[in-house]
Amino acid sequence: YSANNSTRHYSANDSTKSKTDIRPKNVLNIHERGILEDIYPPAAVGLPQLLESKQQCFYCGFDPTADGLHVGNLLSIMVLLHCQRAGHKAIAVIGNATVRAGDPSEHTKDRKVLSDEAIQMNVEAIRDCITTIVGNHAQHIYDNKHKKNLPEFKVLYNQTWYKKLNAIDFISSACRNFRIGSMLEKRYIRDRINSSDGLMLAEFMYQVLQAYDWKYLHDNHDCNFQVGGADQLGNIHAGQQLIRKSSKKKVYALLTPLVTNLRGQKLGKTAGNSVWLNPKKTAPFEFYQFFYKQPDSMVETFLKYFTFIDMKMINEIMIDHEKQSNLRQAQRILAKHVCKLVHGPEGLKSAERCTRALFGGKLEDIEQLTEDEIRSTFDATNVINAVLEPDTTVYDIAAFAKAIPPGNKGENLIRAGGVRINGETVDSPHQILMSGAHVLKNDLTVLSVGKTTHYIVKWK
């Protein structure tokens, strides 16, 4: 399979003729989960009836500006999957053409121009990310007890239609439907034009290109709905207006909220705090821990955003959680469900094994750690290579790893129970390390100091 192909389809139920299609439903009820910030245009009269009358098509665009997607992007994928579960078709468009122009929104300077090789690499990474999540959902998350076919989920590349376009034809057809005045009304456009760096024509035209994407999908895939972040409303409005003027048809958008942390900071690559969906960029263990460490004030929101657990069950989970919040049961459920969706059952098993190994699980979990899991679980500076001598003590290895202060301070820390070996507290600095108890079959030892500092010792 090449990323240059125009289409990739995914359906877990191909060739199962005994099953029936899902009857189209009104997907707007997902607003109760908080993942719909708004519907555009706001006065969308008759929209529920339209959604129930026949199967619709929803799309969301992803520009390959990086070699992967992050948690902020996951919300849009979740909306597409909710639409698929409601009996509607879904399309993910990878913008391997529009990325060459660059989206000026949320940027104060010109975007970096990517090479053809970088774009191709990013396209393949994003394609794999989307199809993996869609496949995990269909095979491991979607409860098909009623034996209903999930509608088709396509991945398209907008280079497919742009490479067939003549520049003059594009200007004379699509561009005739845009007025400079209305394009200049967008705040981010005004800000960029008035800045010292100004705004390139290529980035100024981005809204026209994204609008044309929707028109192409509307004309060729009967796509009446776009899914996008609330920060993309300007570009979405441009597409809605282009279709209205050129085709005299009404189209709609589902706007998702920005995914933020407790401090209200947007989670994304621009903000520099990305949690990636690609296991090579954020390992399943790190991904699991991101959700497991969410504060109580965020866990209910993220359960609604990033899982398919029904609202009644989420309410029950939160009631139980509040009774014993120190057990972090809600966070554990959240981490398990999202990790399984993004990384599949094997990724979840790895994340849980690493978690148990690090936080006092069974010795066999530590013995089963792979090299990849060791690298993902422990910071490189916390992987210690050491030679095991017959008289090596707890103090010796802790001091060698620079995990404790030297001398009496370090010994006293051990005596006070501040050091653990393979999850077990040791209180004697002179305890000699023993094979089987302290040094495991795979010649590993997990050394922990306090609650948050961990080392993996690889014995020679």
314 and 197 in a common domain: no
Question: Residue 53 forms beta bridges with which residues?
Answer: none
Torsion sign (Cα): 229, 230, 233, 234? negative
399 and 358 in a common domain: no
pLDDT of residue 103: 73
Which H or E run includes 157?
strand 153-157
- For residue 269, what pLDDT band results from cuts at 50, 70 and 90? low
324 and 181 in a common domain: no
pLDDT of residue 451: 83
CA distances from 409 to 23, 104, 253, 421, 452 (A): 69, 55, 62, 18, 19
Q: Which two tokens stand for residue 123?
A: 């396209």
Q: Which two tokens stand for residue 61?
A: 């665009």
Q: Which domain holds residue 417?
A: 378-459
- pTM score over 0.75: yes
Residue found under tokens 């690298």: 375
Q: How many CB atoms lie within 10 A of CB 63?
A: 24
353 and 426 in a common domain: no
Query: What does the alpha-carbon distance between residue 394 and residue 407 come to, in Å, rounded to a whole number?
Result: 13
Q: How many CB atoms lie within 10 A of CB 50?
A: 17
- For residue 107, what pLDDT band results from cuts at 50, 70 and 90? low
pLDDT of residue 190: 77
Query: Residue 291: is its pLDDT beyond 80?
Result: yes
Cα 60 from chain centroid? 14
Average pLDDT over residues 9-22: 55
What is the overall mean pLDDT for the chain? 88
Residue 266 within a domain: no
Of 242, 130, 127, nearest in space to 178 by CA = 242
Residue 273 within a domain: no
Query: Residue 41: is its pLDDT beyond 70?
Result: yes
Q: How many CB atoms lie within 10 A of CB 423?
A: 17
Residue 326 within a domain: yes
Query: What does the alpha-carbon distance between residue 436 and residue 200 come to, in Å, rounded to a whole number?
Result: 65
pLDDT of residue 210: 92
Q: What are phi and psi of 133, to 5 degrees?
A: -65, -45
CATH number of the structural domain spanning residue 405 = 3.10.290.10
Average pLDDT over residues 292-308: 96
Residue 265 within a domain: no
Domain count, the chain: 3
119 and 73 in a common domain: yes
For 192-247, how does the pLDDT look when each residue is reduced to its tens digit (9 = 90+)? 787 777 777 778 888 889 999 999 999 999 999 999 998 888 889 999 999 999 98
Residue 267 within a domain: no
Query: Residue 136: is its pLDDT beyond 60?
Result: yes
Residue 1 within a domain: no
State which of 256, 275, 309 marks the end of a domain: 256
Least confident window among 74-78, 231-235, 334-338, 412-416: 231-235
CB of 383 closer than 8 Å to CB of 455: yes
- For residue 117, what pLDDT band results from cuts at 50, 70 and 90? very high
Residue ranges in 185-328 assigned as alpha helix (H): 187-194, 201-204, 206-221, 233-247, 284-292, 296-306, 311-323
pLDDT of residue 17: 42
Residue 340 within a domain: yes
40 and 188 in a common domain: yes
Residue 432 within a domain: yes
Query: What does the alpha-carbon distance between residue 235 and residue 337 come to, in Å, rounded to a whole number?
Result: 33
State which of 370, 390, 406 marks the end of a domain: 370
Cα 293 from chain centroid? 16
Query: Residue 96: is its pLDDT beyond 70?
Result: yes
- For residue 3, what pLDDT band results from cuts at 50, 70 and 90? very low
Helices and strands, number each (H, E), in the chain: 18, 14
CB of 341 closer than 8 Å to CB of 136: yes
66 and 210 in a common domain: yes
Average pLDDT over residues 153-162: 96
* Residue 25 burial (10 A CB sphere; 0-12, 13-18, 19+): middle
CATH number of the structural domain spanning residue 234 = 3.40.50.620
Q: Per the omega criterion (within 30 degrees of 0), is the bond before 151 cis?
A: no
Cα 11 from chain centroid? 21
416 and 293 in a common domain: no
Q: Which two tokens stand for residue 346?
A: 């094997």
pLDDT of residue 252: 96
CB of 25 closer than 8 Å to CB of 52: yes
Question: Residue 70 forms beta bridges with which residues?
Answer: 276
Query: What does the alpha-carbon distance between residue 304 and residue 36 come to, in Å, rounded to a whole number?
Result: 11
Average pLDDT over residues 335-358: 95
391 and 347 in a common domain: no
pLDDT of residue 11: 52
Query: Residue 365: is its pLDDT beyond 80?
Result: yes
120 and 22 in a common domain: yes
Torsion sign (Cα): 301, 306, 312, 318? negative
CATH number of the structural domain spanning residue 332 = 1.10.240.10
State which of 341, 370, 399 marks the end of a domain: 370
pLDDT of residue 361: 63
147 and 13 in a common domain: yes
302 and 252 in a common domain: no
